[in-house]
Amino acid sequence: MDVRRRLTLFAVTIAATPLILAGCTADRKPAAGPAPGRAVANPTVTLTPADRARDVPVSAEVGTTVGGGRVTAVKLTDDKGKQLAGEPREDGSSWVPAAPLENGRTYTAEVTATGDHGRTTVGRTTFTTAPKSTRQAITSTLYFAGNQTYGTAMPVTVAFDPGIPKEARAAVQRRLFVKTDPPQPGTWSWLEDGTQVYYRAPDFWKPGTKISVRAGLEGLPIGTRYVGDEDRRATSRIGRQVALEIDNATKQMSVFRDHKLVRKIPVSLGKPSTPSSSGKMVIMEKHQQTTFDTRGSADPYVVDVEDAQRYTWGGEFIHAAPWSEGDQGHTNVSHGCANVSSAAADWLMGITQVGDLITVKGTEVQVRHGNGWTAWNVSWDEFVRGSALPVPPGLKPAPVGSQGHPGAVAGGSSPEPTPSASGG
């Protein structure tokens, strides 16, 4: 399989506007005539689902295998004659409907293939989808909303409950589509337990990039016990570059915008009994006001906080802590959060975006992989090892130093995906 084919397994999405006919439209030279005396064969077309197939999943694509030519048109109609929108995968392996099919309906696909000398063949297949499945639906959550502005470190994250079994991850990954404009291809990477999968490019997103995502999982058979729950879409943009670096040695937070230092802010991190996590994390949520409630834990408390920004599922936030302003810049007294002054927390809320990178260094513990959106807390080589599908070898980070600040990524370890509202 060539590089272009493998790359498009991860970086193709479905058009939002209806397409009745879809196919290759690249400019081409007029076909040369056949050599004298040589017979010209028509192209061959093999389609899936097979003709008269029944109990086809509503997630089905029209698989196309062409010999001696290429697909130039696809038409899919339902049993009432309605034509369905869709788009081919760029590798030509299938044509993907823009929305899930309906249960218990009959569909007919007509695929036109054109050979090098202009001869055409039309392949047809008629199939019937299955009734609504009685299998348990795996709950999926797409952590990428539409019409938002995200930071340059924003990974596309899909969470699953229960986690996806290893043997089913390739099929699920093929139904997760991402398109970037301008193009900045990346790949997906799974947590070991299958509860989260992240998509990112080798380097941080370029400001202004438009990212369109589709998690086309509705009705998808997942192993022998489960099916996918819903088909979700979202399109958003990447905003300005902002990154926060917190150094436990100096108890200072450095704020960078467009790779330039704009402010230093004193912080108080986690005390020795509740240390803060070191590593590369991402702002996940922003709250003008929230409540930390740890009743039931070994250190129970309830406290209202302002200007809180989450960066781990375990409950680490940057937030206003007027009660510790005398310690900020000197002593760690928090329950693991990054305490800053009320004025600094308010200023940060106006600067940061969900998806901005937070780097914490010098604390007693390392963030566990999966405790938050930790896609940047591993090297690129480790990240691609988490893909269930082949990754093009040419997909590599830019040389160190060419991306400006922030710098290289570091390592991570085991998952901790359960959210907590602790903080402190």
Residue 423 pLDDT class (50, 70, 90 cuts): low
Q: Which residues contact 82 (CB under 8 A, 6 or more apart)?
A: none
pLDDT at 56 over 50: yes
Q: Which residues contact 138 (CB under 8 A, 6 or more apart)?
A: 160, 161, 162, 164, 217, 222, 226, 227, 228, 229
| Rounded mean pLDDT, 227-239 | 98
- pLDDT single digits (tens) 236-273: 999 999 999 999 999 999 999 999 999 999 999 999 99
Comparing 7 with 101, which gets the higher pLDDT? 101
- pLDDT single digits (tens) 152-208: 999 999 999 999 999 999 999 999 999 999 999 999 999 999 999 999 999 999 999
What pLDDT score was predicted for residue 117? 85
pLDDT at 313 over 90: yes
Comparing 298 with 73, which gets the higher pLDDT? 73
